[in-house]
């Protein structure tokens, strides 16, 4: 029995259009469902909800978190799962085809997440220096406004008064984005672009651009783009989606954890402050990052050669 989906034999560009349309439909459906559910789950009428939609404050933080979780699931988790099914792509073959040496791949990937942090921070500081030409002043003003809005929303969502808030934030900021965004970008889009352009490196590059752009924080575009490249190559080399998922979870989860420890006065380290590393620390981070990338690539090649010898 042929279990291939109806998209299996279609061109990659049709896969892209279908996934884009499916994602828009899921965003609409899940946004509508979350709006309809709010009056039943929270002490807030439909009219009050509509009036508070543009108001980012701690007063309606539970509602904001509920809608954030619901819309994240609708935007990143559900669409790729439906797409995989309709495209005839089985997860065990397409997303986790290589399980050999997975623990070592995971260990190297998590180490990469740690040692590359200073370099990612440096890229963020460089991105903040972006200054568009005068004729693009209107665009820059819009980008600044979008950046400020997202930063304000992030600060509100990261406010935690106890362990329950911490658990909710780990789910909302670390677990769901790590799984959903990796399924969408590395699992679905990277595969589509790879078949479309016939070049996996272009696929990783374009996917990383889309990954960074979707966050609508343009003065943090460069660090997210670099993270997108890292996640893309981790998936390509390891052949297992759990490797970039784990690294993505580490990156987001550390933000939640450090903010929680600071807010609870367990730690004096303020993650909201811009971190200044010395030139030697940046150099050390760069060397370690390149060394771990080389080790990861070498392990991936040995893994591939081992599989060929077994066939």
pLDDT confidence band for 301 (50 / 70 / 90): confident
Helix, strand, or coil (residue 145): helix
Residues 113-144 pLDDT 10s = 999 999 999 999 999 888 888 888 888 888 88
> How is 23-92 classified by DSSP, letter by letter?
HHHHHHHHHHHHHHHHHHHSS--HHHHHHHTT--SGGGHHHHHHHHHHHHIIIIIHHHHHHHHHTT--HH
pLDDT computed for residue 92 by the predictor: 66
pLDDT above 70 (res 177): yes
101-104: long-range contacts at Cβ-Cβ below 8 A with a sequence spacing of 24 or more? 101/299, 101/303, 102/238, 102/240, 102/242, 102/243, 104/299
Cβ–Cβ under 8 Å, residues 77 and 241: no
Q: What's the rounded Cα separation, in Å, for the pair 116 and 136?
A: 33
Tell me the sheet residues that pair with 240.
96
Q: Which of 263, 277, 201, 253 is nearest to 232 (CA)?
A: 201
CB 269 within 8 A of CB 258: yes
**Average pLDDT of span 87-104:** 73
Residue 311 has pLDDT above 60, yes or no: no
Mean pLDDT of 157-180: 94
Q: Per-residue pLDDT tens for 1-36?
A: 456 767 777 889 999 999 999 999 999 999 999 988
Mean pLDDT of 206-235: 94
Q: Which residue has the higher pLDDT, 91 or 12?
A: 12
Domain limits, the chain: 1-89, 96-310
Write down the mean pLDDT value for the chain.
Answer: 88
Bigger pLDDT: 112 vs 7: 112
Give the per-residue pLDDT at 305: 58
Checking if the pLDDT of 309 tops 60, the result is no
Of the listed ranges 13-22, 81-90, 171-180, the least confidently predicted one is 81-90
pLDDT number for residue 103? 87
* Cα dihedral across residues 187, 189, 193, 199: positive or negative: negative
The closest of 253, 288, 261, 259 to 272, measured between CA atoms, is 259
At residue 86, φ and ψ (nearest 5 deg) are -75, -20
* Ranges 94-103, 127-136, 201-210, 301-310, most confident: 201-210
Q: How many CB atoms lie within 10 A of CB 109?
A: 26
pLDDT for 20: 96
Mean pLDDT across 190-196: 95
Please report how many Cα atoms fall inside a 13 Å half-sphere around the Cα of residue 90, on the Cβ side: 6
Give pLDDT, residue 218: 85
DSSP tag of 240:
B
Residues β-bridged to residue 96: 240
CA-based torsion, 231, 281, 295, 111: positive or negative: negative
What number is the average pLDDT over the span 59-69? 86
Q: Which of 90-94, 129-133, 276-280, 295-299 shows the lowest per-residue confidence on average (mean pLDDT)?
A: 90-94
Q: What pLDDT is stored for residue 310 in this prediction?
A: 46
**293 pLDDT tier (thresholds 50, 70, 90):** very high
Residue 58 CB neighbour total at 10 angstroms: 12
Report the C-alpha gap between 77 and 27 in whole angstroms: 11
Dihedral sign computed on CA atoms, order 257, 262, 263, 265: positive
């Amino acid at each position: 029995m042929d279990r291939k989906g109806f998209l299996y034999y279609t061109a990659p560009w049709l896969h892209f259009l279908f996934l884009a349309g499916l994602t828009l439909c899921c965003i609409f459906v899940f946004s509508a469902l979350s709006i309809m559910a709010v009056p039943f789950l929270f002490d807030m009428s439909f009219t009050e909800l509509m009036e508070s939609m543009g108001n980012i404050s701690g007063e309606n933080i539970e509602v904001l978190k509920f809608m954030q979780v619901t819309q994240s699931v609708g935007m990143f988790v559900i669409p790729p799962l439906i797409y995989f099914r309709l495209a005839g792509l089985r997860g065990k073959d397409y997303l986790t085809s290589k399980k050999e040496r997975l623990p070592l791949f995971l260990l190297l990937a998590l180490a990469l997440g740690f040692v590359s942090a200073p370099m990612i921070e440096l890229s963020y500081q460089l991105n903040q220096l972006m200054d568009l030409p005068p004729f693009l002043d209107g665009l820059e003003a819009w980008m600044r406004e979008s950046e400020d809005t997202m930063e304000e929303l992030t600060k509100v969502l990261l406010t935690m008064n106890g362990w329950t808030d911490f658990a909710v934030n780990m789910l909302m900021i670390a677990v769901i984005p790590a799984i959903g965004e990796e399924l969408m970008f590395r699992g679905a889009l990277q595969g589509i672009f790879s078949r479309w352009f016939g070049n996996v490196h272009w696929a990783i590059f374009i996917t990383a651009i889309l990954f960074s752009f979707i966050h609508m924080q343009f003065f943090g575009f460069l660090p997210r783009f670099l993270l997108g490249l890292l996640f893309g190559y981790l998936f390509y080399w390891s052949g297992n989606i759990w490797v970039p998922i784990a690294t993505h979870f580490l990156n987001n989860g550390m933000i939640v954890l450090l903010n929680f420890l600071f807010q609870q006065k367990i730690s004096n380290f303020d993650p909201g402050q811009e971190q200044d590393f010395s030139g030697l620390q940046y150099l050390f981070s760069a060397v370690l990052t390149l060394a771990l990338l080389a080790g990861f690539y070498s392990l991936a090649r040995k893994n591939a050669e081992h599989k060929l010898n077994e066939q």
